[in-house]
Amino acid sequence: MALALPAFESLNVGFAATAPKADPRRLLCIGNHLGFWPEGFFPKTNGREFTLSKTLAPLQAYRQDFTVFSHLDHDAKGGHGAVHSFLTGVKKEESAGFPEKNISIDQVAAEHVGSATRYPSITAGLAEGTDMCWNRAGVRIPPVNNPARLFDALFVEASAGAKVAERERLSHRASVLDALRESAKHLGGNLDAADRSKLDQYLTSVRDVERRLQMSEAWLGRPKPKSPINAITDAERLQIEEMPLFLDLMALALQTDSTRVATFEVPLQFHTTDLNVGGYHGLSHHSKQEGLLTQLQIVEKYLITQFAHLLGKLKEAGLLDSTLVVIGSGMGNGSTHSNRNLPVILAGGGLQHQGHVVCPAEERKRIQLSNLWLSSLQWFGVERERFGRSTGTFSPMKIG
């Protein structure tokens, strides 16, 4: 059995390569805690000529620019407690045996970018987010949930006094890290294997902090780009109508090369008053009640509409072919709390998109979503052979 899959330039087996592009690669991931109602999300037909589902209808203008995947997941269980593994492939509680813990793909990509941009990555979201982003030490990276704060980080110059204070803070933190690193070095000889492993993880965290401090110092004196939009000051509303504003800021962050890696998180609790429907989390527990399902699809269609708006912004800026855009969830069915058959869309990236790719549903033939993440990282330029629970790259040679 073989499937026609999107073409990743970094792979030679099973993918049609395209000419390399001069533009730097970018990655933007959107995660929705409650997923999407499967019956409304997944198309009924496969291939490039697939018929868009009701939920995906807002993407009609971009149907050549994305691929929908069916039957991909991480073999994770736990309902809400497993959603955080969407971009990692590994639950936090099961990460002890993995060299990189439960690091998420955005942070792997951010490490690859290094100091090439002001911010190695930008993590944003509504309210408290979905616990989607994790560093290699297994520490969660909380999202910025204030659009004014994000705007300031991107476009507002700090005062001269604030820059001096920031340099002093960076210098003080660096000296503290030097002392910690020296103490840890002397301690290592007195530890058993298990404790040495813990110490190695600790030192990895220290090195990560050092790297970020160095990048902060390098960019502190460089001017920020001018904002193409009016300043954002009203940041108190944490409602669903803020989503277009956040996504516009994410697109501008990529357009100004302030970052090349960005994530956006949609939590299980946020207001939907402008849509005139009930609470989102409550609607996800619809138990197939027609009235609740109708309202849930209004919310889900709104989310996909905003995703389509983002694709339009990137395309208008000439960035879509150099930006891999992901939207999906670690929740496959919010009503049953299932973490199987996760809703996943991969867009942009200059790939030869295949419409709807239906992967094997049989247990012994199932493909790990981590395989797709591994191929995505290779597309980004990261040289690695494993990610999370991957069994290989996302290639037809692995299917059958």
In this predicted model, what pLDDT tens digit does every residue of 187-203 receive, in sequence order? 666 677 777 666 666 66
Instruction: Please state which of the four CATH numbers 3.60.70.12, 3.40.720.10, 3.30.70.270, 3.40.50.300 is assigned to the domain occupying 26-155+233-398.
Output: 3.40.720.10
Q: Which residues sit opposite 144 in a β-bridge?
A: 124
Residue 208 banded pLDDT, cuts 50, 70, 90: low
Work out the average pLDDT over 318-323: 97
Please determine, for residue 145, whether its predicted confidence score (pLDDT) is greater than 50.
yes
Closest CA to 89 of 370, 333, 377: 370
Residue 312 DSSP SS3: helix
pLDDT value at residue 15 = 34
pLDDT value at residue 6 = 54
78's torsion region: left (phi>0), alpha (psi -120 to 50) or beta?
left
Closest CA to 202 of 210, 298, 371: 210
Token pair 């790259």 in the structure block, residue: 393
Q: How far apart are the first and last CA of the chain?
A: 5
315, with CB counted inside 10 A (0-12, 13-18, 19+), is middle
pLDDT value at residue 17 = 35
Residue 129 banded pLDDT, cuts 50, 70, 90: low
pLDDT value at residue 92 = 94
Report how far residue 250's alpha carbon sits from residue 242's, in angstroms, rounded to the nearest whole number.
Answer: 12
Give me the percent of the chain exceeding a pLDDT of 90: 56
Q: Distances from the Cα of 142 to the Cαs of 131, 211, 229, 267, 393, in angstroms?
A: 7, 19, 26, 12, 29
HEC string for 90-104: CCHHHCCCCCCCCCC
Residue 397 banded pLDDT, cuts 50, 70, 90: very low
Model confidence, pTM: 0.85
Structure confidence by residue, pLDDT tens digits, 11-37: 333 333 344 456 899 999 999 999 999
Q: Which residues sit opposite 328 in a β-bridge?
A: 31, 344
**Nearest-5° Cα angle at 207, 25 to 97:** 85
135, with CB counted inside 10 A (0-12, 13-18, 19+), is buried
Q: Is the dihedral of CA 141, 143, 149, 151 positive or negative?
A: positive
Q: Are 330 and 364 in contact (CB under 8 A)?
A: no
Please determine, for residue 357, whether its predicted confidence score (pLDDT) is greater than 80.
yes
Report how far residue 196's alpha carbon sits from residue 82's, in angstroms, rounded to the nearest whole number.
Answer: 29
Structure confidence by residue, pLDDT tens digits, 265-310: 999 877 666 677 878 888 888 888 888 899 899 999 999 999 999 9
Please report, for the chain, the start and end positions of each structural domain, with discontinuous segments joined by +. Answer: 26-155+233-398, 157-223
Please determine, for residue 38, whether its predicted confidence score (pLDDT) is greater than 60.
yes
pLDDT value at residue 234 = 65
pLDDT value at residue 268 = 85
pLDDT value at residue 274 = 66
pLDDT value at residue 3 = 44
Lowest-confidence region among 39-43, 116-120, 168-172:
168-172
Report how far residue 345's alpha carbon sits from residue 50's, in angstroms, rounded to the nearest whole number.
Answer: 14
pLDDT value at residue 370 = 96
